Structure 1
Amino acid sequence: MAIDPEELGHSRSDLAKALRELRVQAGLAGDRLARRCGMTQSKISKIETGRTVPSLVDVELILRALEVPAELARQVFDLARVANTEWQDIRALRKKGLERKQAELAALDQSSSEIRYFLISMLNTLLASPEYVRASLAHVPGDTSRAAMKKLERQTVLYDESKAFTFVLTEQAARWALLPPRAMVMQIERLVSVSRLPNVRLGVIPLGKHIPESPLNTFTVYDSSLATVETETGIITLRDRRDIKAYRDAFAMYEGYALFGEEAREKLAEWSALFLGGL
């Protein structure tokens, strides 16, 4: 099913209207539907007025309780899938202030216990040196000092051993020369340092290795509840369990091609030597 970012906001109100109409057609009061679904009447009311976006499980429970025919249920479920997809336009994020996005990501870090990062062409905030963070913001208009500070503050979560982090990055991500050679050497040293943390697994995929699948986007999976996908113009947030499973499966596949532990650190040392050779 194609997802048009422009339609995501409309889908939420459309879903609320559809669920409300189905309940009325079934001749059920809100409190009776709530009892059948094991929900509160307040939750049903919030769903039907669009104040709460129901999860896919919530929608499935409601459709079963209303005994909605299979074809109509499929249409409503597809609508629910779109409603559970969020689009954040990069231009809008910049207008609001990138530090707000960092606060949102920090909250996701804190509320998750197992986080998987797949990085294609650049390193992410948790792996970046201060110089790399500043360079990654250099193209953004205006004062980015607060955003840089928030990015660096987020890195403290790596030392929370109640959480598990797995990073899989391509050689391109590790070697993309966002900085001059000497600073890139320091950046690679940071990757080595992070790879030694007890709750972190850091894997690298060298170029030249035969991989029958080709990745299209950088993505992150938080536990089994949420996935984010980065594009050139924004970020897609997915909550549909089928989408999350697809990205977890993709991550596991790429993870299988990566080098970890001492093998990864040896490869990072090779790439660092290439930068040193350019000095």
Structure 2
Amino acid sequence: MATSPSSSAQVARERVARRLRELRADAGLTGSELAGRCGWTHPKTSRLENGRTPPTPEDIRRWCAACGAPDQAEDIIAQSRDAESAYTEWRRQVRAGLRRLQDSYVDLYRATELFRIYSPTLVPGLLQTEGYARAVLSNVAELLQIPNDADQAAAARLERSKIVHERGHRFVMVIEESVLYYRLGNDDAMAAQLGYLLTAGALPSVSLGIIPAATQQRALWPQELFHVYDDRLVSVELMTARVQVTQPSEVEMYLRAFEQLRSMAVYGAAARALVLRAIEALR
């Protein structure tokens, strides 16, 4: 894709920096004068107003006070927090455990009517069985070198996934055929997961498409794992972080990419045949 998935986060940071820069200009202060009033060095002023360093809440309060605009501080602090939440390292999100991370998605899920999910590597979380989810989350804990609460996190993930049976939500999911062959957990866990895909793919609210590995002249190569929530938010999962994309132009690009990927997938009987072939390969 043409843009970095973290570009929305950078754009949001630049908006905060521009607002700080404009406050200083409106106050008629030079960078050195503002630095003197704030009690820090001129290079720090330059880093903050050019978006190279994210400001702390205290930085913003000092800046606004120095510019004679203390009433604007809380608004800018909120804007800065939004900017930093656009790119969040997994380590920061899982400090309280993987189970807490699962629970953090519940409100977003309930507020979303249309889910679009593309995964080149894993069965989507909403369709994962307990054994498969436990294996995935245990691997995540090991990679991030955090305490392993995969049992509790897997149970929370399954509880969260009950939303696929609730009215008012639709789920359009596309996976690569290779997902069916990446073995996570033991053979029994993998067989149970593949068996559940046969059931889940038949749910009225779920459209499950599989892009065959033998697809010729692909319209688009495999992309990063991403979720689109309605038409307003894209969550991209990288190895080290989750990126939340809200810029309309970037959301639109992900929507176009999703449609291209969806157009290559097979559904219904053809998709079930691919799953059955993967089950046979386990024997």
Which of the five TM-score ranges fits, normalised by the shorter chain? Answer: 0.7 to 0.9
2: distance between equivalents of 1:5 and 1:226?
Answer: 11
Shift of 1:45: 5.3
Amino acid of the residue matched to residue 119 of structure 2?
L
2: distance between equivalents of 1:264 and 1:236?
Answer: 30
1: distance between equivalents of 2:25 and 2:270?
Answer: 58
Q: 2:235 aligns with which of 228, 233, 243?
A: 228
2: distance between equivalents of 1:19 and 1:213?
Answer: 42
2: distance between equivalents of 1:146 and 1:7?
Answer: 35
Shift of 1:179: 2.4
Deviations 1:183-223 (A, max 9, x none): 22211111111111101100111111121421230111000
Shift of 1:4: 7.1
Amino acid of the residue matched to residue 13 of structure 1?
V
Q: 1:208 aligns with which of 204, 210, 214?
A: 214
2: distance between equivalents of 1:10 and 1:54?
Answer: 9
Q: Return 46-55 or 87-96, whichever deviates more.
A: 46-55
2: distance between equivalents of 1:18 and 1:48?
Answer: 15
Contact 1:165/1:199 (CA < 8 Å) preserved in 2?
yes
Contact 2:219/2:260 (CA < 8 Å) preserved in 1?
no
Contact 1:204/1:258 (CA < 8 Å) preserved in 2?
yes
The correspondence of residues 192-271 of structure 1 with structure 2, limited to 5 A, is: 192-210=198-216, 211-271=218-278
Sort the Cα spacing of 1:241 and 1:54 in 2 relative to 1 into closer, same or farther, 3 A: farther
- Equivalent in the alignment of 2:78: 51
Contact 1:88/1:235 (CA < 8 Å) preserved in 2?
yes
Contact 1:169/1:203 (CA < 8 Å) preserved in 2?
yes
Sort the Cα spacing of 1:209 and 1:48 in 2 relative to 1 into closer, same or farther, 3 A: same
- Equivalent in the alignment of 1:17: 20
- Equivalent in the alignment of 1:178: 184
Contact 2:173/2:209 (CA < 8 Å) preserved in 1?
yes
1: distance between equivalents of 2:17 and 2:125?
Answer: 36
1: distance between equivalents of 2:7 and 2:234?
Answer: 18
Aligned residues: 231
SS in structure 1 at match of 2:236: strand
Superposition CA RMSD, Å: 2.9
Contact 1:133/1:148 (CA < 8 Å) preserved in 2?
yes
The correspondence of residues 5-44 of structure 1 with structure 2, limited to 5 A, is: 10-11=13-14, 13-18=16-21
- Equivalent in the alignment of 1:168: 174
- Equivalent in the alignment of 1:150: 156
**TM-score normalized with structure 1 length:** 0.73
**TM-score normalized with structure 2 length:** 0.72
- Equivalent in the alignment of 2:195: 189
SS in structure 1 at match of 2:86: strand
Shift of 1:232: 1.0
Shift of 1:274: 1.3
Identity %: 22
Contact 1:115/1:222 (CA < 8 Å) preserved in 2?
yes
Contact 1:90/1:234 (CA < 8 Å) preserved in 2?
yes
